[in-house]
Structure formats: structure tokens, C-alpha cells
């Protein structure tokens, strides 16, 4: 597998592979959305097939649900699960306090609901996702279709009083039509460049009528697992205050990843 992967996919894969260490049989697991989370779902599917892993997966989007079923994971709804042992998901950005921007895939509403219904949230990412300050990645806002232009105007007014570097707002498109989320809503992307106070901004945006949820994840993530193209994985656990390095040796002879002691 290793020789077939690009450097970025290798980084995503080893992060996802390490995250499976925190999944045990009998768990109810939130399954994230996006390219990195898709690696996790495939890794878990292999464990279900080859190692007898027994889990209940709660997907955060329709496409994650399809993939999970394809690889043999038993999929249930959040209403059926009620409470989860762990949610593992990707992120578009994260800072040193493990605050996140999510929603590049248009699923941050379900992702936030599932993550906050979990004992812990683990983010898997490649090294490019770490930033000193959030905001370089556009902040997604899921908004009702009804009156979305008025909602956009209210958002623009709110941003005037916020500590942000830029205030451009755009409607996310899917070809020539607006992108529609699994919940039937639109997404407005806020190109802010820099967010000085993510907590304040999150609270202010969610008070605007028509805004369903924003893509800032504050005090939700417990651990970040960062993969690198050379097989190194960094694990930061903010709850325990620990940092760990794990290395996967990329063996081109048989195209597998082997976990080796640091």
C-alpha cells in the first residue's frame, strides 16, 4: 500500500492507523467525514473483517454511512446510540489549544452533534492542518435556505465588531447550484484570514437568526493525532497533558505499514 500513496495520503493513513488503537470491541464510535476520516473508516473495516472487531458506528454524513456499510461496519443512528465512547474525525485547521475549524466537507453540523455526544473526540490530521491562529481556512456556517441573503447581511454586520482580519462571505456552490447539506441547508463560507477570539466569534454567530451552526469546535477535541509522510505520528492528549511520538516504518517490499517502537 505504501508505495502507491502520495506523501499527503501517507500522512493521513498513518494518523488514521494510530487512531484505531483507541477503538475496542463493544464501543460505539462516531465516524467523521472527509478524506482523513475515510482512511479511518477503511482501517476499522479491515479490523472488523480480519480481526473480529465488533463496534457500532455512528456516521456524521450520508457518504460516511455508505462507506462504513461497504467495509462491514455496523451502522446505527445517534438516537439509537444515545452516547458514544469516542468520535474520530478530521479537521481543516487546529491550534495549540485544540480548537478546530471543521466543515470543509459540509458536514460540521452533524460532526459537532456527534462529537459532543462522545466521551472523547480524537482528531486525525496531517501536519499542514496546525496553525498558530485559526482563520486561514474559510469558516463554514450552515444556514437555513429561507432568507439566507438576509442571514448573510446579519453575519456581515456582526463581523464588524469581531477580531478578524477579513470579512468576505460567499455562498458555497456545487457546480452552478448552491451546495446543500444533508439537513437541506446552505453553507456560507467566511474568509476571515485570522480569528482573534474564536470563542467570542462562535457565540456571536450562533445568536444570528438563520444560522444553524458554525464550524468552530471549541473545548470539544481531546486529542490530536498528526501523521507525517515519513511515517512519524505525533499524539497530543490535552486532557492528560501528554505528547507521544509513534513511528510507522514504510516497507516497500511488501507494501505494508509496520508500527515500530520509537
Mean pLDDT of the chain: 94
Looking at the predicted structure, is the pLDDT value of residue 257 above 60? no
Q: Would you place residue 167 in the very low, low, confident or very high pLDDT band (cuts 50, 70, 90)?
A: very high
pLDDT of residue 251: 57
Q: Environment class of residue 31 by beta-carbon count within 10 Å: exposed (0-12), middle (13-18) or buried (19+)?
A: buried
- The more confident residue out of 240 and 260 is 240
Q: Would you place residue 249 in the very low, low, confident or very high pLDDT band (cuts 50, 70, 90)?
A: confident
Map out the domains of the chain as residue ranges.
2-129+219-257, 139-214
Q: Looking at 1-15, 108-122, 163-177, which range is the least confident one? A: 1-15
Rounded to an integer, what is the distance from CA 8 to the centroid of its chain?
16
For the domain made up of 2-129+219-257, the CATH class stated in words is: alpha beta
- The residues carrying an active-site annotation are 111
Looking at the predicted structure, is the pLDDT value of residue 231 above 50? yes
pLDDT of residue 30: 98
Return the beta strands (E) in the chain as ranges: 28-31, 56-59, 74-75, 86-89, 93-94, 100-101, 121-126, 139-143, 168-171, 173-174, 177-178, 186-191, 211-214, 216-217, 223-227, 232-237, 242-251, 256-260
CB neighbour list of residue 229: distance below 8 Å, 6 or more residues apart: 7, 8, 10, 11
Place of cell 470491541: 25
pLDDT of residue 4: 79
Q: How many CA atoms lie within 13 A of 192 on its CB side?
A: 29
- The more confident residue out of 166 and 1 is 166
pLDDT of residue 39: 97
Looking at the predicted structure, is the pLDDT value of residue 3 above 90? no
Looking at the predicted structure, is the pLDDT value of residue 218 above 80? yes
pLDDT of residue 256: 40
pLDDT of residue 259: 44
Strand partners, 186: 143
Q: What angle do CA 63, 134, 187 make, to 5 degrees?
A: 40
What is the CATH T-level fold of the domain 139-214, as seen in this structure? Alpha-Beta Plaits (3.30.70)
pLDDT of residue 169: 98
Residue among 114, 116, 108, 87 at smallest CA distance from 190: 108
Q: Would you place residue 250 in the very low, low, confident or very high pLDDT band (cuts 50, 70, 90)?
A: low
Amino acid at each position: 500500500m505504501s508505495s502507491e500513496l502520495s506523501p499527503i495520503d501517507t500522512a493521513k493513513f498513518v494518523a488514521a492507523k494510530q487512531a484505531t488503537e483507541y477503538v475496542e470491541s463493544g464501543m460505539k464510535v462516531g465516524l467523521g467525514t472527509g478524506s482523513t476520516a475515510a482512511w479511518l473508516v477503511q482501517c476499522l473495516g479491515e479490523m472488523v473483517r480480519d480481526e473480529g472487531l465488533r463496534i457500532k458506528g455512528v456516521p456524521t454524513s450520508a457518504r460516511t454511512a455508505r462507506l462504513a456499510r461497504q467495509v462491514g461496519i455496523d451502522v446505527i443512528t445517534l438516537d439509537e446510540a444515545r452516547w458514544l465512547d469516542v468520535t474520530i474525525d478530521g479537521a481543516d485547521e487546529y491550534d495549540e489549544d485544540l480548537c478546530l475549524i471543521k466543515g470543509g466537507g459540509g458536514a460540521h453540523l452533524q460532526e459537532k452533534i456527534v462529537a459532543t455526544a462522545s466521551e472523547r473526540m480524537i482528531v486525525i490530521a496531517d501536519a499542514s492542518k496546525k496553525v498558530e491562529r485559526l482563520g486561514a481556512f474559510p469558516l463554514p456556517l450552515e444556514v437555513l435556505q429561507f432568507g439566507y441573503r438576509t442571514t448573510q447581511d446579519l453575519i456581515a454586520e456582526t463581523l464588524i465588531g469581531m477580531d478578524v482580519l477579513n470579512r468576505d462571505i460567499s455562498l458555497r456552490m456545487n457546480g452552478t447550484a448552491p451546495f446543500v447539506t444533508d439537513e437541506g441547508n446552505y453553507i456560507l463560507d467566511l474568509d476571515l484570514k485570522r480569528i482573534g477570539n474564536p470563542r467570542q466569534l462562535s457565540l456571536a454567530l450562533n445568536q444570528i437568526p438563520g444560522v444553524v451552526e458554525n464550524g468552530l469546535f471549541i473545548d470539544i477535541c481531546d486529542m490530536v493525532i498528526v501523521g507525517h509522510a515519513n511515517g512519524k505520528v505525533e499524539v497530543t492528549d490535552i486532557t492528560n497533558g501528554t505528547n507521544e511520538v509513534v513511528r510507522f516504518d514504510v516497507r516497500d517490499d511488501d507494501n505494508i505499514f509496520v508500527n515500530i517502537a520509537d
